[in-house]
Structure 1
């Protein structure tokens, strides 16, 4: 069966359910005992039931939270790069292949979404530029 990890994290919307994996039993079956629930957004670790978590349990869970946060942050950036690709592909489609009916179906929604995005990006860039001289002088 190979070496299984000591802990298993069942991914959920905002974190995970944490299980301790046990293969050292008489039936040699894999048993998974839920020990905690983790909320990755606020870092909360809730022991399951009236269970107490060991220092090792807590360290493994904190390590998982850190690794998962890095994974999700990398995915966010990758999604943005994909969105840029899709915008470029959409521009090419609109210029070369889109029919009038297709353009009528998407133009207003695209223009509003792009206007909203541009407004946010310009505001955020302006905020960063205004902060830069103050932090450089510190």
Structure 2
């Protein structure tokens, strides 16, 4: 059997379920034993059932949580940059392709969302400039 990791993390909203993998059994099956539940938002690690986590378990869980948080942060920025691209495509669509009925269907929602976004961005930029003294 291919070399498998010792742990498997099943992603779920706000965290993961952690399983210890066992392939060293007579049936040569992959056995998955749940050992913990993770909450990335608050950093909580709850052992599953009456289980006590080993230092190795805790170290691997900590490594995974750190790597996962970094990945999600990179994805978040990438999603925002895609939104910028989409806004540019929307601008081009509105200028060159959109029919009046299509514009009527989206204009108010877009204007409100853009106004809200602009207000937040301007306020946050002013806060950063004030903090940095510039």
| TM-score bracket relative to the smaller structure | over 0.9
Tell me the alpha carbon deviations over residues 72-91 of structure 1, each in whole angstroms, 9 at most, x when there is no partner: 00000000000000000000
Moved over 3 A (4+): none
Distance across 2 between alignment mates of 1:36 and 1:5: 16
Partner of 1:31: 31
Matches within 5 A, 1:57-136: 57-133=57-133
Q: Partners in 2 of 1:115 and 1:49 — Cα distance? A: 49
Q: What per-residue deviation string (whole Å, max 9, x for no partner) do you get for residues 62-101 of structure 1?
A: 0000000000000000000000000000000000000000
Structure 2 partner of 1:55: 55
Q: Distance in 2 between matches of 1:42 and 1:55?
A: 20
Q: How many residues align?
A: 134
Partner of 1:42: 42
The aligned residue for residue 14 of structure 1 is 14
Shift of 1:51: 0.3
What secondary structure sits across from 2:57 in the alignment?
helix
Return the TM-score normalized by structure 1.
0.96
**Residues 8-62 of structure 1, C-alpha deviations (whole Å, 9 max, x = no match):** 0000000000000000011111000000000001110000000000000000000
Secondary structure at the residue paired with 1:41? Answer: coil
Task: Tell me the C-alpha RMSD between the 2 structures.
Answer: 0.8
